[in-house]
């Protein structure tokens, strides 16, 4: 069954139950994703050929249309809360959690319990808010975050890619190299060495060139003035923008825009 393609993240139902001893469900399938968080007691979850004994704070995820089985303990049956959900962002969200490699999350605390209890309470209200429910679910997943660095990449490669992503998403702001280093979580000098090795230019130069390329694309559209373009690309001074643009491109932004308006073909690598 495919995930819901009309909603980014949709909560279908939430609930909470104190199970009787040996209470079980399955083997069967569910139509949507279903996350259970154990609030107290214990039980076991079985998927394919694996079986996990779970305690308070632990969680297990049921994927759509996959057979599973779970059962409460004979003497200390679990109480759990659950949430059924789907959406086209689910795969991306789960890829950032420990649930990407296992349907079970073994917790070292009870931090996932309160958000899902709140969800169960809210869902029963007639004026329930889908955004609030989605926010609570994301807070649960944030506590299950997977290690940031994948085994197939080096730390430096990860730092570099993280810095590039941060620049792409924040170049329009008053962004400084120190801001990039702080976001990546490394020293500014270390960030400089990584950029010299990976891009053969400094982080400051890379940021400037990225802004100039973005400005060129805006000017190509013929929709924005030079001043609008300057501020939209992170320059807080139109004169400084014109100076940097001329150094990088060989002409002023106004000249560049005017030549494009006459359909002149100027080869500038904006990719």
Kindly give the confidence (pLDDT) of every residue in the chain, 271 residues in length, as a single tens digit, with 9 standing for 90 and above: 445 555 889 999 999 999 999 999 999 999 999 999 999 999 999 998 899 999 999 999 999 999 999 999 999 999 999 999 999 999 999 988 989 889 999 987 788 899 999 999 999 888 889 899 999 999 999 988 765 544 445 788 889 999 999 999 999 999 999 999 999 999 999 999 999 999 999 999 999 999 999 999 999 888 889 999 999 999 988 899 999 999 999 999 998 888 876 554 444 445 4
- Domain carrying residue 87: 10-142
| Sign, Cα dihedral of 10, 12, 18, 19 | negative
| Cα 195 to Cα 4: distance, rounded to the nearest angstrom | 40
The verdict on 180 and 102 lying in the same domain is: no
The verdict on 67 and 127 lying in the same domain is: yes
The verdict on 236 and 121 lying in the same domain is: no
- List C-alpha distances in Å: 16 to 35, 37, 120, 189, 223: 12, 9, 6, 51, 54
Q: Structure pTM? A: 0.64
- Domain boundary (142, 166, 195) is at 142
| Cα 81 to Cα 119: distance, rounded to the nearest angstrom | 9
- Domain boundary (119, 142, 165) is at 142
Residues 53-81 pLDDT 10s? 999 999 999 999 999 999 999 999 999 99
């Amino acid at each position: 069954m495919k995930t819901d393609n009309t909603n980014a993240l949709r909560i279908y139902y939430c609930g909470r139950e104190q199970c009787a001893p040996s209470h079980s469900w399955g083997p069967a399938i569910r139509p949507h994703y279903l996350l259970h968080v154990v609030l107290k007691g214990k039980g076991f979850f079985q998927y394919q050929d694996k079986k996990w004994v779970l305690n308070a704070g632990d969680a297990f995820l049921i994927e759509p249309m996959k057979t599973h089985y779970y059962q409460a303990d004979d003497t200390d049956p679990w109480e759990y809360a659950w949430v059924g959900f789907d959406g086209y962002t689910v795969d991306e969200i789960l890829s950032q959690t420990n649930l990407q490699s296992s349907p079970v999350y073994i917790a070292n605390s009870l931090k996932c319990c309160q958000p899902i209890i709140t969800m169960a309470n809210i869902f029963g209200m007639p004026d329930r808010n889908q955004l609030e429910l989605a926010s609570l679910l994301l807070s649960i997943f944030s506590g299950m975050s997977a290690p940031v660095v994948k085994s197939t990449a080096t730390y430096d490669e990860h730092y570099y890619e993280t810095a590039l992503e941060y620049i792409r998403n924040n170049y329009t702001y008053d962004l400084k190299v120190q801001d990039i280093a702080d976001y990546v979580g490394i020293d500014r000098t270390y960030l400089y060495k990584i950029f010299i090795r990976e891009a053969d230019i400094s982080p400051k130069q890379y940021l400037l060139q990225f802004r100039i390329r973005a400005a060129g694309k805006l000017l190509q559209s013929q929709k924005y003035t030079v001043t609008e373009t300057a501020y939209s690309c992170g320059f807080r001074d139109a004169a400084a923008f014109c100076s940097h643009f001329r150094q990088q491109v060989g002409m002023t932004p106004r000249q560049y825009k005017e030549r494009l308006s006459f359909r002149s073909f100027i080869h500038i690598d904006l990719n």
